[in-house]
Amino acid sequence: GNSVTQMEGPVTLSEEAFLTINCTYTATGYPSLFWYVQYPGEGLQLLLKATKADDKGSNKGFEATYRKETTSFHLEKGSVQVSDSAVYFCALREPNTGNQFYFGTGTSLTVIP
Amino acid sequence: NAGVTQTPKFQVLKTGQSMTLQCAQDMNHEYMSWYRQDPGMGLRLIHYSVGAGITDQGEVPNGYNVSRSTTEDFPLRLLSAAPSQTSVYFCASSYSTRRNEKLFFGSGTQLSVL
């Protein structure tokens, strides 16, 4: 079946530190991959996505590359800010299962000044 | 742009009560869905719809009903609330069910069942 595994949190970083949040997936077909971000008290919003192998999604300084050989979609940012404090969800959407979304459990990030 | 609108934002119920969580979208989206978010478990799909008049079960459908009489609205009904249904509920929609289409989320309903 399909599943998404994210690194356990919470993660606490100092401002301007480098961020990596690991995400690996299992899929029966050829999924699209997504990172969503949830700020306190809000719904999830799309951060970036990639739809085929070797694609790089990027937005607001965040990047993730679709690695089919390692079934991974790790989220990175070179220099985090306090405003990046949020919960980050990795997700996939895959046609063999009716194009339903599968979400990871989320990784909480806190950035301290 | 309203996007996906959920009401209410907060609700407290007693065990055995029923209620309806409302969800409306103004983007003419074909696909709508309900998730629940619980600590350490991410988001789990309750029910979804691929168009007016068409609904189907997700991963955790027990205790919930849905209907889709219009493209815009997708209410979630709790038939007889139980403490295990204490959670944050999100409605989400997408333009289609194509695999590259993103989901748009509402701001959530925090439900407590006592």
Q: Do A99 and B98 touch (CB under 8 A)?
A: yes
A66 versus A95: which is more confidently predicted?
A66
The contact set of B with A (CB < 8 A) is 4, 33, 35, 40-43, 45, 48, 58, 90, 92, 97-103, 105-108
Is residue A55 very low, low, confident or very high in pLDDT (cuts 50, 70, 90)? very high
Question: Is residue B2's pLDDT more than 80?
Answer: no
Is the pLDDT assigned to residue B1 strictly greater than 70? Answer: no
DSSP string computed for B42-108: EEEEEEEEEETTEEEE-SS-TTEEE--SSSSB--EEESS--GGG-EEEEEEEES-S-TTPPPEE---
Q: Which of B4, B41, B99 sits opposite A99 (nearest CB)?
A: B99
| Nearest chain B residue to A94, by CA | B99
For chain A, the helix, strand and coil percentages under 3-state DSSP, each to the nearest 5: 5, 50, 40
- Is B108 within 8 Å of A31 when comparing Cβ atoms? no
Tell me the pLDDT band of B40, cut-offs 50, 70 and 90: confident
**End-to-end alpha-carbon separation of chain B, Å?**
36
- Inter-chain CB proximity B99 and A95 less than 8 Å: yes
pLDDT at A9 (0 to 100): 83
Most A-contacting residue of B103, B104, B107 (CB-CB within 10 A), to test interface: B103
Q: Residue A96 pLDDT > 80, yes or no?
A: no
Percent of chain B with pLDDT over 70: 98
Q: Check the CA dihedral A96-A97-A98-A102 and report its sign.
A: negative
Nearest to B103 among A98, A101, A106 (CB): A101
